[in-house]
Chain A
Amino acid sequence: MNEIHVQAPGLLTTVQDLGREGFGPLGVSPSGAADPVSLRLGNRLVSNPQGAAALEMTLLGGTFLFAQRAIIALTGSDFGATTDGMPLDHSSAVEVSRGQTVRVGSTRSGARCYLCIQGGIVVKPFLGSCSTHLLSGLGGYEGRALRKGDVLRIRPEIAPFRKRTIVARASEQLSPRKVLRVTPGPQSDWFPEPSLQAFYAGMYRVAEESNRMGLRLEGQPIARESAGDMITEGVSIGAVQITAGGLPIILFVEQQTTGGYAKIANVISADLHSLGQLRPRDEIRFEQVEWEMARSLLQEQEKLLASEDLILE
């Protein structure tokens, strides 16, 4: 087994894959990469299965010593990574020699940068997934964010190095959005017309307390009709809940599985990865789309992600 030594962990670095579905009846949410599109792209660049476990770094990256030669790719937001002081290409497969150190800098645009390594990170799967669920301390590397001195095990590489990069046009199409497209939430009719108008016209700021469980937003509070009490019910990823104070919370990858707030809208599947790139103080808006549109946007995105033209060799 190959190894990577964590010399500095960064602000919040976790092992993530595409998460664990199917355990909702036990109250376990899927977790997984906050920006699964970037994880999949990185894994494709290094010839891994698209859901191989990789590192998710948040706002500030870490420093990693490679005990063996490795093929890696940095995707998501460009945190300005270097090796031996030389800049490393972003969104490209690159070769790292034995004993080299990769130092990942801090955010230049979005919240998350992924480090994918050929072979994938090896941790004991929990409920079929290697992703870390921080809230409950489960999965990933000992159920927690990485610390200085941790040693990650890497499956020895299998494919030869090929210089690969993501086609610029594809990167652009998949780049995160600040105008989030939504479909109506299950309680959207609990909100009077002026509230709905205010919600779709308003600019919201991502609050500091946002995390992988949910994104808290600041802005114009949304008034609800004095309708009956909500009975706790199952909630979907991307649900936009309006809390008692009228401010929205978007449920995210480590979401609670059930909740008692009214949902005004739900971020469409094709835009969920954009949530993973939002930073505190970023400003966003919501735009309503038809159900059919939500569906075709996702189909388009998946078609692009599966296409041969995505990668330039």
Chain B
Amino acid sequence: MLKPSADATRFQRASDQSLLVYFGHQITLEAHDRIRKLLRLLEMEPIAGVRNLHPAYCSVLIKFDPLHRDHDELEQILLRYIEGLENVSLPQPREVEIPVCYGGEHGPDLNEVSAIHSMSPEQVVALHSSTSYLVYFLGFVPGFAYLGGLPEALLTPRLATPRRIVPAGSVGIAGNQTGIYPVATPGGWRLLGRTPIPMFRPDRNDLSFLSIGNRVRFMPISPEKFAALERA
């Protein structure tokens, strides 16, 4: 089933109606670039019978209509697309600032995370908001951005027992990841703060506040500012 091909691209059948394309097996900027290029190419020149795409760190799951396509045929077509990836150009990454109210009721785990790393809460906030993060992809639930680039000093294991409900807008960390919960869901990430900006906006054309490839910075705000923005 495993077919090595050009540039460490590998195909793997995931189900009778889906195929995984792997660009290596590590989270790298190169793999991320190739995924974005493949998505762009598939958007410009759609393959008949392809129904859905689930991009991730170094793979894309391609869902197809099994009555009109089979895995082998799709692999052959995709190989041609992949050979042409070099010629696809990507737009300059969009830079996005997200206001976050850290600590208190909005960030119930800030103190514990500080204790784990023997830092003050202020230091954790400074560190978390000091760097620019890359949106590797959106997945899991509508509008959830997988952000890479968490400073190593903040690497923190997830909660032993996930919360039954995490409020929408919560900003959390888990392992070497950080992210924002777009909708209230159960979750095991440690919550540092919360943003009043809706991450998923079903009433707008650009449904998701963040897109694949964006660069994100968190900007600390006060509880008062949070309340004002939430009302706006």
On A, residues with C-beta under 8 Å from B are 21-28, 30, 126-127, 133, 135-138, 183-186, 231-239, 256-259, 263, 266-269, 291, 294-295, 298-299, 302
Q: Is the CB of B139 within 8 A of A295?
A: no
Interface size class of B (residues with CB under 8 A): 35 or more
Question: Contact partner of A27 among B12, B20, B57, B139, CB < 8 A?
Answer: B139
Once A183-B13, A186-B12 are accepted as A-B contacts, the answer to whether A256 and B183 lie under 8 Å apart by CB is no
| Contacting residues, chain A, for B12 (C-beta < 8 A) | 186
- Tell me, rounded to whole Å, the shortest Cβ–Cβ distance linking A84 to chain B: 40
Q: Is the CB of B53 within 8 A of A24?
A: yes
Q: Is the CB of B15 within 8 A of A183?
A: yes
| Contacting residues, chain B, for A302 (C-beta < 8 A) | 67
| Contacting residues, chain B, for A135 (C-beta < 8 A) | 141, 183, 185
Question: Contact partner of B144 among A24, A25, A27, A294, CB < 8 A?
Answer: A27
* A256–B146 CA distance with the chains assembled, in angstroms: 13
Question: Contact partner of B139 among A22, A256, A267, CB < 8 A?
Answer: A256
Q: Which 6 A-B pairs have the closest CB atoms?
A: A234-B61, A234-B54, A258-B139, A266-B15, A294-B16, A236-B15
Once A231-B57, A257-B54, A258-B56 are accepted as A-B contacts, the answer to whether A25 and B39 lie under 8 Å apart by CB is yes
- Tell me, rounded to whole Å, the shortest Cβ–Cβ distance linking B182 to chain A: 8
* A185–B20 CA distance with the chains assembled, in angstroms: 11
* A233–B51 CA distance with the chains assembled, in angstroms: 17
* A153–B27 CA distance with the chains assembled, in angstroms: 49
Q: Is the CB of B51 within 8 A of A26?
A: no
Question: Contact partner of B16 among A30, A258, A263, A295, CB < 8 A?
Answer: A295
- Interface centre among B15, B18, B207, by most chain A C-beta atoms within 10 angstroms, is B15
- Interface centre among B60, B146, B207, by most chain A C-beta atoms within 10 angstroms, is B207
Q: Is the CB of A299 within 8 A of B63?
A: no
Question: Contact partner of A126 among B52, B71, B202, CB < 8 A?
Answer: B202
Q: List B residues 1-52 near A (Cβ within 8 Å).
A: 1, 12-18, 20, 25-27, 39, 51-52
Task: Decide yes or no whether B101 CB sits under 8 A from chain A.
Answer: no
Encoded as 1 (CB less than 8 Å from any A CB) or 0, chain B from 55 to 84 comes to: 111111101001100110000000000000
Q: Is the CB of A26 within 8 A of B25?
A: no
Once A234-B139, A257-B140 are accepted as A-B contacts, the answer to whether A25 and B16 lie under 8 Å apart by CB is no
* A258–B20 CA distance with the chains assembled, in angstroms: 12
Once A27-B139, A233-B61, A236-B15 are accepted as A-B contacts, the answer to whether A21 and B51 lie under 8 Å apart by CB is yes
What is the chain B residue whose CB lies nearest that of A28?
Answer: B142
